[in-house]
Amino acid sequence: MKLIALIAFTFSILQSATVVDAGDMFAKSTNCKSCHLPIVNEWKESWHSKSHYKHDEYFKKSIDYVSKKSRKSLNGVKVECATCHNPRIAVTSTDEEYEIDAVMGLDKGSKVDKALADDAISEGINCVVCHNIDKINCKEKDSIRGINRIEWTKSGVMSGPYSDAKSPYHKVQHRDFMSNKSNKLCYVCHANDRSIKNVVFANTQEEYAYSQTLCVECHMGKKRLSVASTLKIDHGKAKKRKIRTHGFRGAHFDDMIKGALTISAKQKSSFILITLKNKLPHNVPTGFGSREILVELSYLKGKKEIKKESISLTTHYKDRRKRATIPHLAKTSSKNMSIPAKGQKILKVKKVKGATSVNISIYYRLVNDEVRSLLKLKDDIWVKKSPIVSKKIKLK
């Protein structure tokens, strides 16, 4: 019965992308170190470097969950997710024939099996992923993302932000998506994430629609005078340039969250009106469907706490049977509770009788309780509350 159900399943087959071998010399960051050591070290601390099934618990358990619930092979789901997470993968799609082989255990040693085991993709989003892109096809429909939205340069040709860059080890070509139009590069993957039922659960690109801000201004930092390459090509010295860090810092880092929102509050009759303002050019939260803003209220009578209350601002997802699920499998979703880009959200809460003041604390969590429970996430980072802002007001 399982085999019959699998054959009857409507498979999601990815658009076939052109695979260009990066070559052993460029496939891993190890060989980049000799000239770009500071940048490689920054990248190693980033979540781009963890973008692989083995290195990110959330990613791994999401893939396992999708495979189990959709009855698609584990490797088949890995290949789909590699579209953004491991774009240098040698196989870009699976078909019904492969899925049948996988169910029957006949896929060992297959092209898919070998591609997923290749060390070349073990570093996730590494140097050669971004710096080997030749063209970004922005005219593709929104559902086409990742590897299916780009064209690669030939092996040994690197794209970069400088028109005068030279190297004795590889060719260098300037591309505007590496400099003044860098958002185009970010949006290759960080846009229009949708479930297998076509529910869009993250779309940072759309949130940015009316902003002139570059993503890299925050996530790679302001330009600073340093060296992109340690090669002594400028009169016997390394050439100094204006460069950005390659840590790609985001919501996993507390300093990126603190101060992202501002808060004001006032009492109106028997209610408290809390206004959360977002000064960022994208929603808060953004980037993934199950992130969460927590509003915690501590009511005091004098100096004594008399009640605590917590409000969750997150989105919940349901499958076709109306059961809770993760964003990738959703057929429906609840209202988007994020604070819009450059916008605000007003919360109205009932004042606790007898309270003379209230402490309001706003926190950020990478995963809400519902999805964390479904995926059985264990790492402390998924339950951690990162402080954004707090305020205390007197009550009448």
Are 182 and 317 within one domain?
no
Instruction: Measure the CA–CA gap between 127 and 125, rounded to whole angstroms.
Output: 7
Q: Are residues 129 and 196 in the same domain?
A: yes
Residue 317: φ, ψ to 5°: -125, 145
In the sheet that 332-333 helps form, which strands lie side by side, from edge to edge? 324-325, 317-318, 332-333
CA atoms of 368 and 213, how far apart (whole Å):
29
Residue 125 lies in a domain: yes
- Which token pair is 124? 């996730």
Tell whether 331 and 224 lie within a shared domain.
no
Q: Does any domain span residue 145? A: yes
Same domain, 363 and 229: no
| Cα–Cα dist 369/346, whole Å | 23
- Same domain (yes/no): 6, 73: yes
Q: Which of 128, 110, 111, 51 is nearest to 83 (CA)?
A: 51
Q: Of 185, 208, 243, which residue constitutes the final position of a domain?
A: 243
In 3-state terms, what secondary structure has residue 348? Answer: strand
Query: What pLDDT was estimated at residue 24?
Result: 82
Specify if 37 maps to a domain.
yes
For residues 222 and 274, membership in a common domain is answered with: no
Q: Quote the tokens at residue 131.
A: 């710096």
CA distance 30 to 51: 17
Please tell me whether residues 44 and 90 are part of one structural domain: yes
What pLDDT is stored for residue 25 in this prediction?
Answer: 86
**CA–CA distances in Å: residue 352 to residues 249, 263, 275:** 39, 20, 18
Considering 243, 276, 309, which residue would you say is the last residue of a domain? 243
CA 296 to chain CA mean position, Å:
26
Give the CATH number of the domain where residue 302 resides: 2.60.40.10
For 108, half-sphere exposure in the C-beta direction (CA atoms, 13 angstrom radius) is: 3
Q: Which of 126, 129, 173 is nearest to 147 (CA)?
A: 129
Mean pLDDT by 10 residues, the chain (396 residues): 36 54 86 94 95 95 96 94 93 89 87 90 94 92 90 93 92 95 94 91 90 93 94 89 95 95 96 97 94 98 96 96 97 95 96 96 98 98 97 95
Q: What are phi and psi of 341, to 5 degrees?
A: -55, 130
157 and 18: one domain?
A: yes
| 197 and 142 assigned to the same domain | yes
Residue 145's domain spans which residues? 2-243
For residues 4 and 16, what is the distance between their CA atoms, to the nearest angstrom? 26
Q: Are residues 74 and 218 in the same domain?
A: yes
Q: How far apart are CA 193 and CA 208, in angstroms?
A: 15
Specify whether 109 is located in the same domain as 57: yes
Amino acid 234: pLDDT? 86
- Determine the 3-state secondary structure of 150 from DSSP: strand
Structural domains in the chain (count): 2
Of 243, 272, 302, the domain-final residue: 243
Alpha carbon dihedral 353, 355, 361, 367, in 10-degree steps, equals -30
Strands 261-268 and 271-278: antiparallel
What is the model's pLDDT at position 217? 95
Q: How far is it, in rounded angstroms, from Cα 54 to Cα 28?
A: 16
Residues 261 and 238 in one domain: no
Give the span between the Cα atoms of 358 and 271, in whole angstroms: 12
Residue type, 391: K
Asked if residue 249 is part of any domain, the answer here is no
Q: Please report whether residue 248 resides in a domain.
A: no
| Within-domain flag for 313 | yes
Report the C-alpha gap between 241 and 326 in whole angstroms. 44
**Cβ atoms within 10 Å of 264's Cβ, excluding its own:** 14
| Burial of 266: CB neighbours in 10 Å, binned 0-12, 13-18, 19+ | exposed
